[in-house]
Amino acid sequence: MAVPSFWLSILKRQALMLGDGFSNRYANDWLVWEAGLWMPATSREKSDVLETVLPGSGSTMRPTASDAVCYALWPDASRRELLVGRATSSDLILNDLTVSRVAFRLVAADGWTLVPEAENVTVSGAPAGPVALTSGQQVRVGDVRLTFLTGRALRERLQAPAAP
């Protein structure tokens, strides 16, 4: 099951147009890939086969993004978990060569629990063991920075004035 993704700027427009209806349409939790350094794989094969690049390697040669990517966390009802990583077989694909092919799993049971599958996963700066995520927590895998948000917290972020 592929996890749907949206640019933060598109969701902001949706929130303006839908008003209170936004919360009904997007009532799920979110994982937000914060804008920053990015080292994409340039093909499906490279995403699945290349060795993971160490975080911080060659960062001066890498493009930076300008808009966050928001992943709607809708679990597969039959599995109740989402596989996150660089591999194209992942439910939530992070196309960055500093991310492991299989980075972590998100398990849905009264919220979301992050279960690391790679050593370079941290939650709020600490190495991750299985951890129940709370809104606002930062997940880092390789050079990718993710923020876990409830639907309400995402709505609040969308309503906040843009940073200069």
Query: CA 143, CA 14: separation in Å to the nearest integer?
Result: 29
Among the ranges 34-38, 89-93, 124-128, which has the highest mean pLDDT value? 89-93
User: Is residue 128 helix, strand or coil?
Assistant: coil
pLDDT category at 60 given cuts 50, 70, 90 is very low
Concatenate the DSSP letters of all residues of 7-41 into one string.
EHHHHHHHHHHHTTHHHHHT-SEEEEE-S-B----
Lookup: tokens for 127:
């190495």
pLDDT recorded at residue 1: 59
pLDDT category at 64 given cuts 50, 70, 90 is low
pLDDT category at 103 given cuts 50, 70, 90 is very high
pLDDT recorded at residue 109: 85
pLDDT recorded at residue 55: 62
- Domains of the chain, CATH where assigned: 5-159 (2.60.200.20)
Q: Quick: pLDDT tens for 115-160.
A: 999 988 999 888 768 999 999 999 999 889 999 999 999 999 998 8
